Amino acid sequence: MCGIVGYVGTPAAGGAGVDGTEVVLEGLRRLEYRGYDSAGIAVVAGGGVQTRKKAGKLANLVEVLGADPLPAAATAIGHTRWATHGGPTDANAHPHLDASGRLAVIHNGIVENFALLRAELLEAGTPFTSETDTEVVAHLLGRAHAADPAAGLAAAMRAVCARLEGAFTLLAVHADEPGTIVGARRNSPLVVGLGEGANYLGSDVAAFIAHTREALELGQDQIVTITADDVVVTGFDGTPREGRRFHVDWDAAAAEKGGFPSFMAKEIHDQPQAIADTLLGRTDAEGRLQLDEMKISEAELRSVDKIVVIACGTAAYAGQVAKYAIEHWCRIPVEVELAHEFRYRDPVVSERTLVVAISQSGETMDTIMAVRHAREQGAKVLAICNTNGSTIPRESDAVLYTHAGPEIAVASTKAFLAQITACYLLGLYLAQLRGNKFADEVADVLAQLHEIPGQVRQVLDGLEQVREIARYMADTRSVLFLGRHVGYPVAMEGALKLKELAYIHAEGFAAGELKHGPIALVEPGQPVFVVVPSPRGRDSLHSKVVSNIQEVRARGARTLVIAEHGDTDVEPYADVVIRIPRTSTLLSPLLAVVPLQVFACELATAKGLDVDQPRNLAKSVTVE
* Contact residues: ligand AGP, CB under 6 A: 312-315, 359-361, 364, 367, 410-412, 500, 620-621
Residue 442 CB, nearest approach to ligand AGP (Å)? 27
Q: What share of the chain is helix, strand, coil (3-state, %, to 5)?
A: 40, 25, 35
Residue 511 CB, nearest approach to ligand AGP (Å)? 23
Type of residue at 596: L
C-alpha to C-alpha distances, 405 to 56, 402, 614, nearest whole angstrom: 16, 8, 21
Residue 60 CB, nearest approach to ligand AGP (Å)? 23
Residue 341 CB, nearest approach to ligand AGP (Å)? 14
Q: Which of 205, 225, 75 is nearest to 156 (CA)?
A: 225
* Residue nearest to ligand AGP according to CB distances in the complex: 313
The CA distance from 98 to 135, in Å, is 7
Q: What is the DSSP letter of 13?
A: G
What residues have CB less than 8 Å from 135, skipping those under 6 apart? 96, 128, 129
Residue 402 CB, nearest approach to ligand AGP (Å)? 10
Nearer to ligand AGP, 136 or 318 (CB): 318
Nearer to ligand AGP, 130 or 360 (CB): 360
Q: Are 300 and 441 in contact (CB under 8 A)?
A: no
What residues have CB less than 8 Å from 516, skipping those under 6 apart? none
The CA distance from 86 to 82, in Å, is 10
Nearer to ligand AGP, 21 or 361 (CB): 361
Residue 616 CB, nearest approach to ligand AGP (Å)? 11
The CA distance from 324 to 580, in Å, is 20
C-alpha to C-alpha distances, 208 to 45, 173, 247, 452, nearest whole angstrom: 22, 18, 13, 33
Q: What is the DSSP letter of 86?
A: S
Nearer to ligand AGP, 277 or 500 (CB): 500
Chain-centroid distance of CA 491 in Å reads 23
Strand partners, 25: none
Residue 87 CB, nearest approach to ligand AGP (Å)? 18
The CA distance from 69 to 95, in Å, is 16
Nearer to ligand AGP, 225 or 605 (CB): 605
Strand partners, 9: 198
Omega of the bond leading into 95 within 30 degrees of 0 (cis): yes
Strand partners, 455: none
Nearer to ligand AGP, 133 or 500 (CB): 500
**Cβ atoms within 10 Å, residue 386:** 28
Dihedral sign of CA atoms 339, 343, 345, 351 in order: positive
Residue 277 CB, nearest approach to ligand AGP (Å)? 17
C-alpha to C-alpha distances, 430 to 318, 363, 424, 551, nearest whole angstrom: 18, 26, 10, 40
Residue 318 CB, nearest approach to ligand AGP (Å)? 9
Nearer to ligand AGP, 222 or 367 (CB): 367
The CA distance from 365 to 522, in Å, is 37
Nearer to ligand AGP, 84 or 314 (CB): 314
Q: What is the DSSP letter of 232?
A: E
Strand partners, 297: none
Nearer to ligand AGP, 273 or 419 (CB): 419
Residue 500 CB, nearest approach to ligand AGP (Å)? 5
Q: Are 384 and 413 in contact (CB under 8 A)?
A: no
Q: Are 35 and 2 in contact (CB under 8 A)?
A: yes
Q: Any alpha helices (H) in 107-181, and if so which ranges?
A: 114-123, 133-147, 153-161
Type of residue at 564: E
C-alpha to C-alpha distances, 623 to 58, 203, 287, 382, 589, nearest whole angstrom: 26, 35, 42, 22, 30
Nearer to ligand AGP, 372 or 565 (CB): 372
C-alpha to C-alpha distances, 34 to 4, 97, 384, nearest whole angstrom: 9, 22, 20
Residue 282 CB, nearest approach to ligand AGP (Å)? 21
The CA distance from 117 to 139, in Å, is 10
Q: Which residues are catalytic?
A: 2, 619
Nearer to ligand AGP, 576 or 621 (CB): 621
Q: Is 335 exposed, middle or buried (0-12, 13-18, 19+ CB in 10 A)?
A: middle
Q: What is the dihedral of CA 173, 175, 179, 181, to 10 degrees?
A: -10
Nearer to ligand AGP, 134 or 314 (CB): 314
Residue 555 CB, nearest approach to ligand AGP (Å)? 30
